[in-house]
Amino acid sequence: MSAPHDAGREPFGSRLARAMAVHGPLCVGIDPHPGLLADWALTDDAAGVERFALSVVEALAGEVAMVKPQVALFERHGSAGMAALERTLAACSQAGLLSLADAKRGDIGSTMAAYADAWLRDGSPLAADAVTLSPYLGFGSLRPALEAAAASGRGVFVLALTSNPEGASVQHVGGAASVARGIVEATARENQGTQLGSTGLVIGATVGPALEELGIDLAASQAPILAPGLGAQGATPEDLRAVFGAVWDQLVPTSSRDILRHGPDIATLRRAAIDVQDSLRG
């Protein structure tokens, strides 16, 4: 279990729980795909990406629990794209909107420590409220990031059971002692003694059968559960309740294109997010 942070910031899990209680559980991706940029009449360059991202922040601040910039779609524009990401994360902080950098970082030793320094250290221009991590070099390889998050009151979301077809070839290995189950159980140990921990899980919105087959107990993890797949990827609020009903208070459903396609008008984009949020309350 990670040591408590001493930076004076409330733990990420507590801050997320409060944001979910106030605004609802929805997390909206900030995904400046080339097609969406074109639909918004924006250029496919760093300037277009930044205008897109800052418009999403303006529309959603005070309306949703969290936003999730997709790092790769900034990174494809090089240093200027990463500078746009820095300004987007700063805008989230200034607006009081929780940010999850979807970077899916994972490595060992000093390299993992450097990733942790980039995404989780106070004063870093890339510091987000939380970052996604890949544990497939072993859950223990994430220790530098887990410690950095605990020290700064930030969080992480660890890939556990994803809905892409290729994921099963790694995540399901071991059956009753599967890789995915081991990741969930390791996450539970990080979150001991919390109501909603700061070490979250990424669980695809359409993996219900696998959860049962692999004997995975999400409630015991005390983890916020990021569930990609709502909307354009095919999952409905009813699907989410069927899969995650027992852990609904832990669930952070994510939607991107299904909301972002309503831009660039700020009011229309905000209304689309509110409508999705309302559907999750029903």
Amino acid at residue number 257: R
Q: What is the pLDDT of residue 8?
A: 77
pLDDT digits (tens, 9 = 90+) for 228-249: 988 766 789 999 999 999 999 9
* Chain centre distance of CA 277: 17
Q: What is the mean pLDDT of residues 148-152?
A: 98
Cα separation, 60 vs 54, in Å, equals 10
Indicate if the pLDDT at residue 102 is higher than 90. yes
Tokens for 261?
């396609």
pLDDT digits (tens, 9 = 90+) for 69-92: 999 999 999 999 999 999 999 999
Active-site residues: which are they?
104
Q: Sign of dihedral through CA atoms 36, 100, 206, 21? A: negative
Percent pLDDT > 90 in the chain is: 92
Alpha helices by DSSP H, listed for 61-136, are 71-75, 78-95, 109-120
CA distances in angstroms from 93 to 96, 196, 279, listed in the order given: 5, 21, 27
- pTM equals 0.95
Cα separation, 168 vs 153, in Å, equals 32
Q: Please answer whether residues 158 and 12 qualify as being in contact, where contact means their C-beta atoms are separated by less than 8 angstroms.
A: no
pLDDT digits (tens, 9 = 90+) for 176-228: 999 999 999 999 999 999 999 999 999 999 888 999 999 999 999 999 999 99
Q: What is the mean pLDDT of residues 99-123?
A: 98
SS3 call for 88: helix
Q: What structural domains and CATH numbers belong to the chain?
A: 12-281 (3.20.20.70)
Q: Please answer whether residues 102 and 74 qualify as being in contact, where contact means their C-beta atoms are separated by less than 8 angstroms.
A: no
